[in-house]
Structure 1
Amino acid sequence: MRIILLRHAESLGNIDELAYCRIPDHALPLTPRGEEQARAEGERLRGLLTDGPVAAYVSPYTRTTRTFELLGLGPIVERMVPEPRLREQDWGNLQDPVEQEIQKQKRHEFGHFFYRLAHGESGADVDDRVASFLNELEQRVEADPTHPDTALVVTHGLTMRLLCRRMFSWTIDLFESLSNPEHCAHRILTYDRGTWSLDRPFDQWRDSPDKTTQL
């Protein structure tokens, strides 16, 4: 079994934070640069996906579904499942820029994992729903002999890190020390002989305070 985790391409919210004040988070489009990133990543992925069909699980946000479309994987994808549990951390509805900065500062002081945004979720909330997704995916693969051995998960940066945190039982200290992957960057999880492995680590902006590592 192999799971390819892919962050969406650059979106409007990544270059203009005020976009969150006028456009719902789930509706933010890709930038022109983001569309180019997605097409280029599609070429790279097609080089990886030569050994059989793929099941795609995609966050239903506009930036993730559009990223998936632009990958151009065509008949390689045997099934595509919109999966709300893979969505971005919920920051609430249309955001006030002043309140948004306050929330970011409070989250930084309190801890990114446990701080629950005033009208949204904590990292722990996202952790719970990605655990549910992983558990259901495992059950689906076991119960359905036609399910492809490769799953492509098109999601968001924080969600990618939390999927790996759950898979490898990383500590909260380690999770909070990791950086999001770049736009359209992927990570590959491979299951072999009862063990999951990660093809390459996430960048870290600091050493984990508890001295744990991604290995």
Structure 2
Amino acid sequence: MGPVRIILLRHGQSLGNVDELAYCRVPDHTMPLTPLGEREAKEAGDRVKALLQDVPAAVYVSPYTRTRSTLRLLGLGALAERVVAEPRLREQDWGNLQDPVQQEVLKHQRHAFGHFFFRLPNGESGADVDDRVAAFLDGLEARVRAGGHPETSLLVSHGLTIRLLCRRLFGWSVELFESLSNPTTCEDRVLEHDGERWRLDRPFDQWRDSPDGETQG
């Protein structure tokens, strides 16, 4: 595989980022951006356009409202050569509307058990998300190898999904993944493949050292 780039972008600030109880009354897939999130997305437009360097990209976007709104507000125009709503890039499924009491209990259990393997009742584990992003990456690689696919892809997705996509590409340990922080809203990362290996433009913030000593380098 020759030179390939993947630009990863987290959505702008959503209602769920500022009001966790919103998940008890608003379906996750319809969670809207806040006014700040809309401004973040508009401001990110110039940054993403600069990364694209006037070269059209294939765009894959989580079908959730907050990610699709973020993509629209980027204002990419003709730089978005093709746009695919990709369910495999969605947020981890917490299982329909959440009960406020159970929500708090589950967050404590998940933190103690580990974010990767803990399965949410009626929802997914981090490992499930890891599996679906792996399937997406396999399909993307096949399309690139077949030819006719832009060298650059833009993925508009979610914090945990972005971290797991990188974990899968680089083969990071589960312990390292669980030590990394999500990118902030509308923060980007750029992955480049030089024909031999993938490289990440800058590391994710870490809230602790990985217990197994593994690093992002």
1:176 corresponds in structure 2 to 178
1:190 corresponds in structure 2 to 192
Report Cα offsets for 1:151-210 as digits up to 9, x if no partner: 000000000000000000000000000000000000000000311000000000000000
Among candidates 19, 22, 40, match of residue 16 of structure 1: 19
Q: Residue 126 of structure 1 aligns to which amino acid in structure 2?
A: V
| Structure 1: runs of 5 or more not aligned | none
2:156 corresponds in structure 1 to 154
| Structure 2: runs of 5 or more not aligned | none
- What CA distance in whole angstroms lies between the structure 2 residues aligned with 1:98 and 1:116? 18
TM-score between the two structures when normalised by the length of structure 2: 0.97
Q: Residue 189 of structure 2 aligns to which amino acid in structure 1?
A: R
- What CA distance in whole angstroms lies between the structure 2 residues aligned with 1:123 and 1:200? 23
- What CA distance in whole angstroms lies between the structure 2 residues aligned with 1:8 and 1:126? 17
1:116 corresponds in structure 2 to 119
Find out whether 1:38 has 2:54 as its counterpart: no
- What CA distance in whole angstroms lies between the structure 1 residues aligned with 2:62 and 2:100? 25
How far apart are residue 47 of structure 1 and its match? 1.1
Among candidates 68, 71, 77, match of residue 68 of structure 1: 71
Q: Residue 106 of structure 1 aligns to which amino acid in structure 2?
A: Q
How far apart are residue 141 of structure 1 and its match? 1.0
- What CA distance in whole angstroms lies between the structure 1 residues aligned with 2:113 and 2:5? 35
The 3-state SS of whatever aligns with 1:13 is helix
TM-score between the two structures when normalised by the length of structure 1: 0.98
How far apart are residue 18 of structure 1 and its match? 1.1
RMSD across aligned positions (CA): 0.7
1:211 corresponds in structure 2 to 213
Find out whether 1:127 has 2:130 as its counterpart: yes
The 3-state SS of whatever aligns with 2:198 is strand
- What CA distance in whole angstroms lies between the structure 1 residues aligned with 2:180 and 2:16? 21
How far apart are residue 114 of structure 1 and its match? 0.3
1:200 corresponds in structure 2 to 202
Which runs of 4 or more aligned residues in structure 1 lie more than 6 Å from their structure 2 counterparts after TM superposition?
Answer: none
How far apart are residue 7 of structure 1 and its match? 0.3
Q: Residue 14 of structure 2 aligns to which amino acid in structure 1?
A: S
Q: Residue 201 of structure 1 aligns to which amino acid in structure 2?
A: P
- What CA distance in whole angstroms lies between the structure 2 residues aligned with 1:167 and 1:154? 17
Determine what percentage of the aligned residue pairs are the same residue.
67
Report Cα offsets for 1:82-122 as digits up to 9, x if no partner: 00000000000010010001111111111110000012000
